[in-house]
Chain A
Amino acid sequence: MHRAWAIIERELRRFRRSPVLIAMSMTFPIVQLVVLGYAFGGNVKHLKLAIVDQDHGVPAVKVRELASAVASGARTIDTIDYTDPGVALTDLRNGRVNGVLTIPPDFSRRVLERSQPRVALIEDNTDSFVSNAMAATLGGLLAAYNQPATAPRVPGQATLDVVEVYPYVPYVQYLLPGSVVMSIFMMVMIGGGIIFIDDKARGLHEGYLVTPITKFELIAGFNISGTIKAVVAGMFLIVIGSIIAGIPNPFDPMRLVRLFVLVVVTSFALISLMFLLMVRVTDPLLPRAVFGILNTVLYFPSGAVYPQQGFPGWMTVIAVADPFTYAVHAFKNLLLKNTGFVAIASDLTFLLIFSAVAMTAATLLFKRTL
């Protein structure tokens, strides 16, 4: 085994002298965390809502007052009064407003008659985030409108009381587990896959193969050194990412120990996958070509950026086999919920079995000669 350590020593000395490699592997996940986290994390505000009041009755004025209250409070919408519905619709089509709320002429009469009073929201649905936010805001507005002026002493309707177990989780925190796994993957890909193939193409592996090193020592040397590099990247992102995302109490020693174990297991699983993919490759262009594809196929179906419950069936199949899925799930537990090992036992089990299967297959494919 001492020969494997010689390879590990060599790889780590080279790693230490390649600051560009280290920076590239760690910068991308941090930039992604910050940009995506804050781009997607905020609530939608200042949507322009045209209000066409064709009624002008007291109930219609009440609707307009509620809309103005939202505009000056939560600021989800900014209201603009229109008199001509045609002009309002033209402005909607030209993008000057995001939606048109029309209060029809018979609104007040229907309210008084209790005859299904209606207001209409005509919205630009090309941006589902905007249209959903506007529909939700106006839905809440009408719910408030429908509340009786005086609440009954004993309410007869069922209500839902939501109790949140954990403190509020902003999107940047939601994204952090995926970014940690991404940083591990980046290091596995650049510091493991690409360097492995480049070294092979340059003939460096010939230097190893003419020594008495065994097949097992070679495989151990390549994979342990790759795992160490990935662990460095993963722990770095946990520390920096936790500070950026504002994870509560990020440096609790027990949490760090659990995170370290998970980073090691994840790194080994991903380096095993990489070794299996690259064990017979000789063309240095290939790992570069598959880098982007692998990144997309593994990262997005993992639930790192969006809940897997919203995926179509075919993508769920990918997610089930994707080691990212289990790593991201486990990191969410440790980073966002600060759970113990019990909560991530099934994730760790999957990652360890995945590593064993991939490493066994790669070992069988690995050739001790050229």
Chain B
Amino acid sequence: MSNAIEVRGIVKRFGDFTAVDGVSFAVEEGEIFGLLGPNGAGKSTLIRMLVTLLQPTAGTALVSGFDITKQPDDVRRAIGVIPQAMTSDLELSVEENLIIFAKLYGVPRAKREKLIDDLLAAVELTQWRHAQVKNLSGGMRRRVEIARGLVHEPRIFFLDEPTTGLDPVSRVAVWEMLQKIKAERDLTILITTHYMDEADKLCDRIAIVDHGELKALDSPLKLKASIPGKNILDVSFSSTPPGWLERLQQLPHVQSVTGEDNIFRMSSTNGPETTLALMEQAQAAGVSVQSLSVQSTTLDDVFVHYTGRALRDALQEANPLDRGFMMRRP
């Protein structure tokens, strides 16, 4: 399988600040590739370089075989882009937005009508084609933008945080829409997000980006498998005898145990067997289990492992001013 995108040691600096620091990766044709990271991690800067909105300071990338620094117009013809901000014209109708962009991409008049009909059907907005965009919900506006980005039949589709600001139901609708369109149109999709569940469910492969650097890259399954501990057990007891934590650590497959006040978190490479042994030990010691939950490793655990902090903490660290700055000056 050939590469739709090849990023080669790309760097972007704004004065003394390095937003993207020598990132390299390749996206295969037909896959959905996710860039995962908090605000300010460099995702948007990276995607803006790939779609020719920003000039790299160093390095380059090939998109659909074209060099982004030397053949930007060829790159622009080959790609569809959905920027982070909602950029459809609110005063124009859904159809008018698509017509204008079809003209901007030079889509021949003969093909235009059929293309727009098909796209409106694909994003389920046919009945809203004459509605002004300002009268649509956030999720519907995002679907207009998806249709707009595909109006010239690109093979590679870039989406910069397409579900940010949407409610959970709309987010899921956008995911389903993207999966359907990708299957129908044989698209390669590069998507940036800071939603773990979105990256997990949507992406074939994920690159974790933090502080402008690529921290890890693989499929969600392999990423989760790559870190120690496959299951996390959260257990609470009514009371515990002295030395209970050490006894929990000796249970089969347990890698680590933390806890206090009769509440413990255990990391295990085999959740079911550790759970069974835990119940047997508690019964033998006369300790009653108040609650027990077993969960698989999440991408959040992967993010913590590779970046040393939780994604939600990283999101909170980026204060609103920083976020505004990053939105204006990627």
- Of A62-70, A164-172, A198-206, A336-344, the one touching chain B: A198-206
Q: Which residues of A contact B85 (CB under 8 A)?
A: 202-203, 206
Q: Which residues of A contact B83 (CB under 8 A)?
A: 203, 206-207, 210
- Of A1-9, A24-32, A114-122, A298-306, the one touching chain B: A1-9
0/1 interface trace, chain A 1-40, chain B, CB 8 Å (1 if under): 0110111011001100110000000000000000000000
- Minimum Cβ distance to chain B for residue A33 (Å): 30
Contact of B100 among A10, A18, A206 (CB under 8 A): A10
Contact B91 A14 (CB under 8 A): yes
- Known A-B contacts A13-B92, A210-B79, A370-B330; the reply to A2 vs B87 at CB < 8 A is no
Q: In the assembly, what is the distance between CA of A18 and CA of B91, in Å?
A: 8
Contact B87 A17 (CB under 8 A): no
Q: Which residues of B contact A370 (CB under 8 A)?
A: 48, 53-54, 330
0/1 interface trace, chain A 279-294, chain B, CB 8 Å (1 if under): 0001000000000000
Interface status of B201 (Cβ within 8 A of chain A) = no
Interface status of A159 (Cβ within 8 A of chain B) = no
Q: In the assembly, what is the distance between CA of A126 and CA of B330, in Å?
A: 60
Contact B51 A210 (CB under 8 A): yes
Q: How many residues of A contact B (CB 8 A)?
A: 25
Q: In the assembly, what is the distance between CA of A198 and CA of B103, in Å?
A: 23
* Residue of B whose beta carbon sits closest to that of A203: B85
Q: In the assembly, what is the distance between CA of A134 and CA of B330, in Å?
A: 68
- Known A-B contacts A6-B100, A202-B85, A203-B84; the reply to A209 vs B106 at CB < 8 A is no
0/1 interface trace, chain B 143-177, chain A, CB 8 Å (1 if under): 00000100000000000000000000000000000
Contact A6 B54 (CB under 8 A): no
Contact B92 A212 (CB under 8 A): no
Contact A202 B87 (CB under 8 A): yes
Interface status of B284 (Cβ within 8 A of chain A) = no
Q: In the assembly, what is the distance between CA of A292 and CA of B328, in Å?
A: 27
Determine which residue in B51, B54, B104, B328 has the highest number of CB atoms from chain A within 10 A of its CB, and name it.
B104
Determine which residue in A3, A209, A212, A370 has the highest number of CB atoms from chain B within 10 A of its CB, and name it.
A212
Q: Which residues of A contact B328 (CB under 8 A)?
A: 282
Q: Which residues of B contact A282 (CB under 8 A)?
A: 328
Interface status of B32 (Cβ within 8 A of chain A) = no
Contact A13 B55 (CB under 8 A): no
Interface status of B105 (Cβ within 8 A of chain A) = yes
Interface status of B96 (Cβ within 8 A of chain A) = yes
Q: In the assembly, what is the distance between CA of A13 and CA of B132, in Å?
A: 12
* Residue of A whose beta carbon sits closest to that of B330: A370
* Residue of A whose beta carbon sits closest to that of B96: A13
Q: Which residues of A contact B48 (CB under 8 A)?
A: 370
Q: Which residues of B contact A210 (CB under 8 A)?
A: 51-53, 76, 79, 81, 83
Q: In the assembly, what is the distance between CA of A206 and CA of B81, in Å?
A: 9
Q: In the assembly, what is the distance between CA of A352 and CA of B81, in Å?
A: 39
Q: In the assembly, what is the distance between CA of A207 and CA of B53, in Å?
A: 10
Q: Which residues of A contact B81 (CB under 8 A)?
A: 206, 210
List residues 277-294 of chain B with CB under 8 A from any CB of chain A: none
- Known A-B contacts A206-B83, A209-B53, A210-B52; the reply to A9 vs B104 at CB < 8 A is no
- Minimum Cβ distance to chain A for residue B90 (Å): 9
- Known A-B contacts A14-B89, A202-B87, A211-B76; the reply to A3 vs B103 at CB < 8 A is yes
- Minimum Cβ distance to chain A for residue B314 (Å): 24
* Residue of B whose beta carbon sits closest to that of A206: B83
Interface status of B306 (Cβ within 8 A of chain A) = no
Q: In the assembly, what is the distance between CA of A23 and CA of B8, in Å?
A: 53
Q: Which residues of B contact A145 (CB under 8 A)?
A: none
Interface status of A297 (Cβ within 8 A of chain B) = no
Q: Which residues of A contact B89 (CB under 8 A)?
A: 10, 14, 204
Interface status of B77 (Cβ within 8 A of chain A) = yes
Contact B91 A13 (CB under 8 A): yes
0/1 interface trace, chain B 65-95, chain A, CB 8 Å (1 if under): 0000000010011010101111101011000
Interface status of A369 (Cβ within 8 A of chain B) = yes
Contact A2 B55 (CB under 8 A): no
Interface status of A213 (Cβ within 8 A of chain B) = yes
Contact A6 B87 (CB under 8 A): no
Contact A369 B76 (CB under 8 A): no
- Known A-B contacts A206-B53, A210-B52, A210-B76; the reply to A10 vs B87 at CB < 8 A is no
Interface status of A208 (Cβ within 8 A of chain B) = yes
B contact residues vs A (CB 8 Å cutoff):
48, 51-55, 73, 76-77, 79, 81, 83-87, 89, 91-92, 96, 100-101, 103-106, 132, 148, 328, 330
Please list 7 pairs of residues, one from A and one from B, whose beta carbons are closer than 8 Å in the complex, sorted by A's number. A6-B100, A14-B89, A204-B89, A210-B81, A211-B76, A369-B53, A370-B54
The 10 closest A-B pairs by CB, nearest first: A203-B85, A6-B103, A210-B81, A211-B104, A212-B76, A207-B87, A17-B91, A206-B83, A10-B100, A14-B91
Given A3-B103, A17-B132, 20 other A-B residues pairs in contact with their CB atoms under 8 A: A6-B100, A6-B103, A6-B104, A9-B100, A10-B92, A10-B100, A13-B96, A14-B89, A14-B92, A207-B83, A207-B87, A207-B101, A209-B53, A210-B52, A210-B79, A210-B81, A210-B83, A211-B105, A282-B328, A369-B53
